[in-house]
Structure 1
Amino acid sequence: MAEPRDDQPDDPSADGVAGAAPPILQSPTPLARRQLSLFQTFYASPPVRDRLSNVIDIWDAAPKYATPCRRADVTDCPAVFLERTFSYKGTVFRVSVAPALIRDGNGRNVYRFPTAREELIEDALRKIAVQQQLGFVGSLEEQPIFGVRFSLGLLRRELSRYGHGIRHAALVESLLIMSGCMVEIAYAHRRTAMHRNTILSSLTAISREDYLRDPLTLWAAHFHPMVASSISAMAYRQYDYEVTMGYRSSLARWLHKHLAAVYLNAGMTQPYKLLLSAIQENSGLLNHARVRDRGREVESALKELSNSAFPVIRSFECQAVLDGRRIVDVGYTLNPTAEFVRQVVAANRRQRDRKAGDETVG
């Protein structure tokens, strides 16, 4: 992400972005309030608790973010879509992303795909919704809504904490991309989409006039409907957000979230195994033509997982899959750390307690 200029004022408004009245939500039910409280509560000791956030079923597994080269201007061909298939917990899905139409710094109308920059911003917004108690729930046309109130300064500081400094103008651009790019997720062999909406289904910006009238006015955003639905269904798991945000590569972040979501039986004698081909298909982040080059990229990401301040894996082994003398795939065996195993055990207990509590309420 771009580094912010030292002389840049922390202007909470968005020049050139029209302020709009937020959609009027129906008041949350007691059940919705309870579900939000559960989403904001983690099972961990106080120092660890502050590091945690939630990984969302299916939504966070979907390879919806383009590699940096796909951020390129596609104005001449607005019908270009980012389309991928991915497997999650034994089910095959497809994701289709239409680029957002925005106005760049030169006043041109351009199309932009979401990339790693927008991924980091979404994760930071979800953390703000949890940690800062700025999250809110409600309903709109009988559909659940999960959103967050924030200032650009708060969001920039959250990103900068992990070395992802961003200029004011670039942050506003990313928020517009997230509220303008259409993401459709469906079962691979069905035409009807499960969910079709923008990453931020609603974005209420602050104009300069809004800020001058009331300096305490905040931006507001609604997350994708799949995020809201997952909160209602308790289809999420806690994971180490702080460590994940510290990774340099998108692939390391993807691997960490993947392990947090699916490695439910983690143990010191229960290693996790996966293939290079599965990582390539499900992450959408490996674009090298040669298997060797893709393998080097995965090994680099795995080293991030083992060398962080709170490592996820203590070691890993690679095994080439051969067709004659040609390497056609690579198998990886990941050995977890005791800290990661403790986090998985706590996440499993959290899920059991929530489901038991939900059955009691029901």
Structure 2
Amino acid sequence: MAEDCCSFNKDSLIIKAPKKSPLALRMVVLAAVMICAVYIFSVCLKLIGNHRVPRIIQIELAEQPCHNPGIPQAEIPYVHYPEPTTYSREECACTPVRYFAILSMQRSGSGWFETLLNSHINISSNGEIFSAKERRSNISAIIKTLNKVYNLDWYTSASKNECTAAIGFKWMLNQGLVTYHEEIVDYFKMRGVSAIFLFRRNLLRQMVSVLANNYDRNTKQLNGTHKAHVHSRDEAYVLARYKPTINATSLIPDLRNTRESTTKTLKYFKSTRHIVLYYEDLIQNHTPCFLQKMVDVLDFLRVPRRKLVSRHVKIHTRPLSEQVQNWNDVYHALEGTRYENFLTADYKIFS
């Protein structure tokens, strides 16, 4: 009986095999292949997780020879190693670079301040790059320009190229800085850009300088050429002869607006790494070797202390009473107001 059963089963298999066995076998084989594939794939993932990732990290670290373990953790976001597309930094490739921007207003001493910075062998400040309207037409244009500057691909006569250790430029408040302040603050914080604020305490002197500069822009007193900054006493004397007339009626509102602009800007950028400077403090605190406040700036930028020089010659050196056409009107407009100290607050001009 057992043999009959066995014989029957075998015959049954033999009879049914041509119809059902190949399909069932194929399904079994396919399932086995899929299970093996999943198993192999899982094993590979474990191998990658255990071995390949450290290897990749090691390769990335090996490709960063500029890593400096001596840099404090808090300073790392402000240390960069740009790779310019237009040239090679060569032996200075591992010189860390700091990003900065001088945020100021017209006729606040920023031109003179920038020449001092550029006299340092390791600092490159590239002027008012956003004076061109197309570069500040929208935030995309601004970001594109900033990226080019901080990648050391922005070339001016101030560029130190290979051995630059601090790269920046001047940015006036009315050149898109306030308009797009939220996006710019985010960019500064993300890219590790330090802000150097430079303002004037005596806003009346600033106003005189602005009016005189506008006048020369139209009249071109120096042989038909407009010069915002001069390098000789003779040129300074020519430009200083002009005595502007100040609108005494709108004087206080104008001074208030200027002060509010600086206050707003400081508030907008308070979350960034920054330093606040005033022109009067810069020119008053000096020794034969150093402008004391400039030492603070060099320390802020983490560059070596050096003697800084400038060829700029100050234009307006006389007391304000001798530089304003309608001085009596100005005096009476400010007398007894919060701006009265502008009338007498002056500083010693050094040579």
- Do both share a fold (TM > 0.5)? no
Return the structure number with greater strand share. Answer: 1
Return the structure number with greater helix share. Answer: 2
Q: TM-score, with normalisation over the residues of structure 2?
A: 0.25
Find the structure with the greater CA-based Rg. 2
Q: TM-score, with normalisation over the residues of structure 1?
A: 0.25
